[in-house]
A and B are shown apart, each in its own frame.
Chain A
Amino acid sequence: SQQGEEDPQALSIQEGENATMNCSYKTSINNLQWYRQNSGRGLVHLILIRSNEREKHSGRLRVTLDTSKKSSSLLITASRAADTASYFCATGRSGNTGKLIFGQGTTLQVKP
C-alpha cells in the first residue's frame, strides 16, 4: 500500500515562480525523503528530513515536516525550466528495516 500521497498530482508554473508540493502519510516515520525523477530516468535524492526536524534547506529547496499532521511540503523557489520533473516523497517508517514507501509523485512543468 502507498504510504505517501502527494498533492497536487500535476503542477504547471512559469519560470521564476515558486512551486510547492505536499505529501501526506499515514503511519509513524523515522524520516521523510524527497526525490526527483526526470522522464525515463532513475531517481535522484534531494533531501532527507528526520522525524525530529521541522524544516530543512538545500539551495533553492525548502522542506517542512509536521509530524502532528503527518505531512510534508517541498518548496522550490525561483523555479527554472530545468526543474521540470516528477517529484516523489518517500517515508522511512519507525521500526522498519530501512524500506522506503514512495508516493505517486507530483509532475512539475516549469514553462520558460
Chain B
Amino acid sequence: DGGITQSPKYLFRKEGQNVTLSCEQNLNHDAMYWYRQDPGQGLRLIYYSQIVNDFQKGDIAEGYSVSREKKESFPLTVTSAQKNPTAFYLCASSISSGSEQFFGPGTRLTVL
C-alpha cells in the first residue's frame, strides 16, 4: 500500500447524506483512479484522472463526483443519488496511463 493513503478505513453514513472519501499519493504519479468492489466481485472503475485538473467518467460514474485540483489528491464524493453506495472503495495511481497501478488500502463504506 506504500505511497497511497486512503481515509478513513471504515465509514458509516446515513442514507441520503453525501460523503467524501480521501485519496492521497506521494509517488508523483500523473494518473489516479477510483474503483468500487462489491463482495466476491472484481473492481469496477468509477472515475479516473490522467493529469491534474482533468478527469473522466469510468463505467459506473452515476451518483459519484471527483475533483483533481492537486496532483497528489483525488477525493471521491458519494452522493445521495448513488442508489447502493455500500461497498469497498479503492483508489489507485500509476506513473502514466496504462502502466501498473498502485493501490491504497481501501475504504469500506456502509450506508445505514
Contacts and interface: CB of A to CB of B under 8 A. Distances in A.
B103 A44 contact: yes
A25 interface: no
Interface residues of B, number: 31
B103 A105 contact: no
Contact of B90 (A2, A31, A42): A42
Interface string A73-85: 0000000000000
Interface in B30-67: 31, 35, 40-45, 48, 50, 56, 58-59
B26 interface: no
A100 B90 CA distance: 14
B75 interface: no
Contact of B106 (A42, A97, A98): A42
B98 A31 contact: yes
A30 B100 CA distance: 12
Question: Which of A4, A33, A42, A43: most chain B Cβ within 10 A?
Answer: A42
A88 B103 contact: no
Contacts of A2: 42
Interface in A28-54: 30-31, 33, 35, 40-45, 48
A97 B42 contact: no
A44 to B, nearest CB: 7
Interface of B: 1, 4, 31, 35, 40-45, 48, 50, 56, 58-59, 88, 90, 92, 94, 96-106, 108
Given A40-B108, A41-B1, A98-B50, 6 more contacts: A4-B42, A31-B98, A41-B105, A41-B106, A44-B103, A99-B97
